[in-house]
Amino acid sequence: MKLYVGNFSYDMTEDRLRELFTPFGEPDSVSVISDRQTGQAKGFGFVEFSDASQAKAAMAALDKKEVDGRALTVNEARPKAAGTGGGGGARGRY
């Protein structure tokens, strides 16, 4: 089960995010989304658990929990919509 985690500090690291979720079970993956140019966290990321009950326990305990002065948003991640994402550029315009 993949969880969306939002509204965290721009200083958040993947290690720190993993620490927040580890009391509920060992996450399979943790990612903090960061700006490509600056490398600074964008304030959201994802945590994935193979055990849905661990993910649900983490979600219940950490949603709206204040961390570094900000109330986290934790909910089940929505699947990425087909045909969205990256791209851009000037392919085929020459």
Domain ranges of the chain: 2-23+33-76
Whether 47 and 58 have beta carbons less than 8 Å apart is answered as yes
- Provide the CA 55 distance to its chain's centre, in angstroms: 13
Per-residue pLDDT, 80: 78
pTM of the model: 0.83
Q: Which tens digit of pLDDT belongs to each residue from 36-50?
A: 999 899 999 999 999
- Helix and strand totals (H; E) in the chain: 2, 6
Question: Domain 2-23+33-76, what fold?
Answer: Alpha-Beta Plaits (3.30.70)
